Amino acid sequence: MISTILAQVGDFVSPVIDWHALAPELVLVVGINLVLFIDLWVDESKKWAMATLTGFVLLGAFLPVVTLAVVGDDVRSMFDGRYVIDEYALVLKAVFLLTAYVVVLMSQTELEEGGYYQGEFYVLLLASVLGMVMMTSSRDLVSIFVALELLSIPAYMLAAWRKRDRKSNEAGVKYYLLGVFASAVLLYGMSFLYGTTGSTRLVDIGAELGDELMAMQVLGIVFVIAGFGFKISAVPFHTWAPDTYEGAPTPVTAFLSVAAKAAGFVALVPLIFIAFPAADSVYQPFLWVLAALTMTVGNVIALRQTNIVRLLAYSSVSQGGFILMPLAVVGTGDGADSALKAVVFYLIVYAFMNLGAFAIVIAVARKTRSGNITSYGGLFSYSPGLATLMTIFLASLAGIPPFGGFWAKFNVFRAMLDAGGWAAASLAVVGAVNSVIAVGYYMGVLREMWMRPVPDGDTTTITPPAPIWAALGITAAATLVLGIFPGLVLRFGDLQDLTGALGG
């Protein structure tokens, strides 16, 4: 027994490791340990330093992403193409790191004033980001699953971070139970795929799934997509989202609704483009229904919300539906390239505009101590700057030019029409109707801020702390710049790159 294992060890050839390509992940691993250990020796009054340190870790991890992009060789592939650094991976790594950086900026004062466990918070945040960064490169069922768990488990704890708040506990428990359930479904589906194709590599699965699908393979695909459906809070798997978003601390909500959701999509994209292309008769109708339901249900419920965080939660559900739209038509025509570009662009823009909206929510709640939409009454009269920024973010979410969100929606519709066919066209119509419905609730908030009186008559100007300003600055600048020059990031997400990595 032991001898056979030893014999295997003897045969083991160490894989070639491209240290440069792995640098972002390595920096994060070192950073997590640094924060964890330094936190032990830091006095309670100096815990703010942990936020700064985390910020530096994230920037440190960002650096190799930049150098990798600058060097820009061919696709770097490791472990037989199970871990790939291509343009798609790099862009999304950058997005996750930036998102996390903005979340740190947003959390800093929240945590200090709330007396939370600061050091641990940042350790978990970094661990979750590490999972996301790994997810962008994973091209294998196992590494996808590991990355998913790495990013989810810290997130469950972060959601329950306000320990003495019952709503926060509820948020954490709900997220945890449904998340674990989703992981189980996902894993079950993956086991079917592995069992029937004999490999966990996406490329192999893609090659094995032929025109004749076995029932088990169909089930596997459906389970995998359903599992990710939970992560991206697609209807009908969205039920955890509003409660979790409302109960969790607002910076965590921002993180979940942007980064965790994006991570789900990031995993879904290679699955669909690399592993499932032959199974388009299975995933297309499924995603079609998911996308249509997600947009519509998210929107209709959002119309009735009175709490700003819940409103943003449902809005993020419906935005998820828009991101799903192009994925539902991949393969029906020559629109696959447009579809990939649309998804990547949407994820980037969505990250900034949604984070920005949450930053405003944090800033305003510092004064009003309320999450009611009515508490935004008259914001424009006493804090015109914040009101204007919120207007930009919401208008962008609603898809009004000249803000980034317009191009996100535009590219989605472009991809739909590029794909052609009745399925795509009808889904585009559903999307168009929904984008008009969505205007209704975003406008509701705008109306509150610009046209209604101040509810309690307190018109002292809100002065957000510096980190919040920084977060607002980054997100607003990105939303505006991407609105005027969408070409800057629109070129990312070349299908060639993603599928070019097929051979590994």
Partner 1 sequence: METITDQNWLLSVGTFLPLAGVLVMLFVPKSEEYWHKVIALVTAGATLGVGIYTLTQFDYDQSAKMQFFVDTEWIEVIKSNYIVGLDGISLPLYFLSMVITFLVIVYTWDNMPEAGNAKAFLILMLVLQTGMAGTFIAQDLILFFVFFEVVLLPMYFMIGVWGGENRQYASLKFFLYTMFGSALMLVAFLALFFQTDAQSFSFAHLVEAGPLVDKDVQVWIFSGMFIGFAVKVPMFPFHTWLPDAHTEAPTQGSVILAAILLKLGTYGFVRIAIPMLPEGAVEWAPWIGLLAVIGIIYGALGCLAQTDMKRLIAFSSVAHMGFVMLGISTLTTFGINAALFGMVAHGLITGMLFFIAGSVKHRYHTLEIKRMSGLLTQVPKLAWILGFCAMASLGLPGLAGFWGEFPAILSAYNPGFGLPEETFRTFMVVAAIGTVLAASYLLWLYQRMAFGEPTEEFSGHGPAAHAVGAAPNDEHEHGDHDLHDVTLVEWIAWIPILIAIIVLGVYPHLLFNFIDPAVTELVGRLGESIGP
Residues near partner 1 (CB under 8 A): 341, 380-381, 384, 391, 395, 400-402, 406, 410-411, 413-414, 417-418, 420, 428, 432, 435-436, 439-440, 443, 446-447, 450-451, 485-487, 490-491
Closer residue to partner 1 in complex, CB, 22/498: 498
CA 176 – CA 159 distance, rounded (Å): 9
Closer residue to partner 1 in complex, CB, 27/439: 439
Kindly list the distances between the CA atom of residue 120 and the CA atoms of 10, 40, 54, 116, 158, in Å, as whole numbers in the listed order: 41, 10, 11, 9, 10
Closer residue to partner 1 in complex, CB, 193/395: 395
The tokens of 22 are what? 């792995």
**CA neighbours within 13 Å on the CB side: how many for 209?**
31
AA identity, residue 11 = D
User: Element (H or E) spanning 389, and its range?
Assistant: helix 384-398
The structure tokens 């942990």 sit at 50
Closer residue to partner 1 in complex, CB, 152/396: 396
Contact 55, 101 (CB under 8 A): yes
Closer residue to partner 1 in complex, CB, 94/449: 449
Shortest Cβ 342–partner 1 spacing (Å): 10
* Neighbour tally for 422: CB within 10 Å: 8
Shortest Cβ 100–partner 1 spacing (Å): 27
Shortest Cβ 477–partner 1 spacing (Å): 14
CA 411 – CA 340 distance, rounded (Å): 10
CA nearest neighbour of 318 among 305, 302, 342, 339: 302
Shortest Cβ 171–partner 1 spacing (Å): 33
Shortest Cβ 323–partner 1 spacing (Å): 18
User: Element (H or E) spanning 84, and its range?
Assistant: strand 83-85
Shortest Cβ 65–partner 1 spacing (Å): 22
Kindly list the distances between the CA atom of residue 302 and the CA atoms of 40, 319, 375, 396, in Å, as whole numbers in the listed order: 43, 11, 17, 17
Closer residue to partner 1 in complex, CB, 111/419: 419
AA identity, residue 132 = M
Closer residue to partner 1 in complex, CB, 453/503: 453
Closer residue to partner 1 in complex, CB, 199/388: 388
Shortest Cβ 450–partner 1 spacing (Å): 5
Closer residue to partner 1 in complex, CB, 25/418: 418
CA 405 – CA 298 distance, rounded (Å): 17
Shortest Cβ 338–partner 1 spacing (Å): 9
Shortest Cβ 332–partner 1 spacing (Å): 14
Closer residue to partner 1 in complex, CB, 161/407: 407
Closer residue to partner 1 in complex, CB, 141/462: 462
Burial class (CB in 10 A: 0-12, 13-18, 19+), 143: buried
DSSP 502: G
Shortest Cβ 421–partner 1 spacing (Å): 12
CA 165 – CA 171 distance, rounded (Å): 10
DSSP 77: E
**For residue 236, is the peptide bond before it cis, meaning its omega torsion is within 30 degrees of 0?**
yes
Rg (CA), the chain: 22
Helix, strand, coil content of the chain in percent (nearest 5): 80, 0, 20
Closer residue to partner 1 in complex, CB, 115/487: 487
Shortest Cβ 490–partner 1 spacing (Å): 4
CA nearest neighbour of 114 among 248, 309, 242: 248
CA 240 – CA 453 distance, rounded (Å): 34
Angle at 262 (CA atoms; ends 338, 172), nearest 5 degrees:
160
Shortest Cβ 476–partner 1 spacing (Å): 13
